[in-house]
Amino acid sequence: MKRMKTLIKNGLVVDPANLVQTHLNLLLEDGKIVAVTEEEPEADRVIDAAGKVVAPGFIDIHMHEDPVKDDKIQFCIFDAMLRMGVTTAVGGNCGINVYDPVKYLDLLERDGAPVNVMMFAGHQYYREAAGALDKYSPVTEEQRKMMKKGLEEALEAGCVGISYGLRYVPGTGREEFLDTASCCQKEHRLISAHVRDDEERVFGAVAEVAEAGKIFDIPVEISHIGSMAGFGQMEQLLKQVDGYRMNGMDITCDCYPYFAFSTRIGATTYDDGWLERYHCDYDACQLMEGKYKGQRCTPETFAEMRRDFPECLTVCYVMDQKDIRMAFSDPGVMLGSDGLIDNGQGHPRAAGSFPKFFADFVRDGSISLYDGIAKMTSIPAKRLGLADKGRLNVGADADVVVFDPEKIRDGATFDDPMLPPFGIDYVLIGGEIAAKDCRIVKGDLGTAIRKRS
């Protein structure tokens, strides 16, 4: 069935992929942009964007997907993504899949989704599927062969690359890491890594991942660098990554615009030595679930929850604001929410990262509107090989965000992490209105995006 024509007029079109920042009108039809013009063509529906910014739909290169129950995805974080302007999200990060990633893509294609979704094949998921359940121990030769077979099949079925959470699986040795990363060489797929260590040991951890990029000539993404080097190491880390880039490596990073990280209390992040590493006390850690929800830890509650409820989400307030700002000033760093929601609880970055970035980093002049939009559109689109997304030229997919640059801001808080943002007038996916005024209008316009050879 032919879709209606939609005209978005009078807005400031900001399209870094095409080096555009000027007032233009967009005509959308049949899921595509069919005109970018100063004229005002006829349309069935008109959106007057006077005083607003018209940008490509935002792309979240690093988030954690919703769970599956009874053969259906339980949409929650994808709803939050849509409300904050994201039209394409990438799940399966940090080595973690909540479900077989190929079957997950199948479910997305069958049922639709609030946003378009790409998936990484998670190293830890396939490690455990091969029977290697002890995260502190190395795999056997047979388990490694099973892992590689599963990863290769996932890549063939359309996963964008392989993700790693080396911090979460310390038993992963160099041989296992490089052997699995080699699966990406044939099709030049991306590896994305939550590196093995942070703080003063982050440099060696990044070098470990970069080695795979050098050996196999594959692209590398270093995940959420604010929570890896946001403790006084950011300047040196950015120089390290830039050095790799100057030597020909295809390497980029992502970061979220908050000064506290989130992980589960049973994660290896909180193994012995974490207080000394982050130069903090137990009360830097806030419990986001369970009977102590909202409370800062004491030595007693920390030990109790780590023992009895290791899946409890926490927020840890230890990152340096100056380092996060420094990260976003680097042209090789894009925005990624690292959003994770569990039963409605988690870190507000899942529902607030993109509008917060405009409110706290663009509106204060730290980053230009043009460069800020590039970090969430053209740069991740190029990184992911999405030729028709992250841009607003004729023929591109009609994924568009209309927002007020003076009013856009996050609403989510640490106490209520799912509150919607403000100042986003329209989010369109495939030329259809998916969200209006930060409320979902149609929640099934997205689908799976499979990476093809």
- What tokens appear for 106 in the block? 């199948």
Q: Residue 99's CB: how many other CB atoms inside 10 A?
A: 18
Distance between the two ends of the chain, CA-based, in angstroms?
30
pLDDT for 88: 99
Query: Which portions of the chain are predicted below pLDDT 50?
Result: none
Residue 201: φ, ψ to 5°: -95, 5
**Domains observed in the chain:** 57-259+319-388 (3.20.20.140), 271-312 (no CATH)
pLDDT for 171: 98
Q: Residue 381's CB: how many other CB atoms inside 10 A?
A: 25
pTM beyond cutoff 0.85: yes
pLDDT for 405: 98
* C-alpha distances out from residue 95 to 50, 122, 188, 403, Å: 43, 4, 19, 34
Cα 103–107–112 angle (5° rounding)?
150
pLDDT in tens, 363-414: 999 999 999 999 999 999 999 999 999 999 999 999 999 999 999 999 999 8
In the structure, how many helices (H) and strands (E) does the chain have? 14, 25
Amino acid making up residue 298: T
pLDDT for 3: 66
